[in-house]
Structure 1
Amino acid sequence: MKIINCPLNGPRNSSEFVHGGELREMPDPNNCTDREWAEYVFYSDNQIGVITEWWLHAPSGYWFIAERHTGSDEILRTYDPSEIFTKRVEFSAKAESSQSEEITA
């Protein structure tokens, strides 16, 4: 049985977790191209080594960050996102309304 240390709930069975993808710098959603946004959402480097990833503890709904070696699948460290994120990303209402207008047009 594989155990993952959740920063909020402590050591738990890996079946309680959902992988959320690699942590990467997000392009500005209001000024990036569709291609840049698609690359951010759908593609990863997929290299062997230590990567930083999002993980979800599904029973509690808690998202956290883990550093994992992709070759051995060993989780080296887990921590709360507040350690690296200090502010929320706000999406402008103007960008959202213009996108919905393009879809309906």
Structure 2
Amino acid sequence: MIPESRGAIISEQRGGFIGIGTYGEQGPIGLLPTGKKVVALIASGGVYSSGPAQGMDFISPYIRNIFGFIGITDVEIVRAEAQANPNLGKDSLKLGVEAAEHLAN
């Protein structure tokens, strides 16, 4: 779930400060220069990247759409899932941190 304060920041930046520049044949063209990349770190209590709850993963498409709308289409998702489960959560957090560190180098 995206907290209301974060959603407001995204909405404000999307509509006010960082809007679309123009519309092309295939839809909106963002104001940001091409070639930018975003790494989104997502923590969740359950597992939504695979398994029976995969269809309920709304945050990944949302993040991709918001950044795509402003012109960033290269979006990497790093997850720390199952944080509600003390055993699985530790392992998932460790893998998420390792993936983020790898992307930072």
TM-score grouping bracket, smaller chain normalisation: under 0.3
More strand per residue: 1
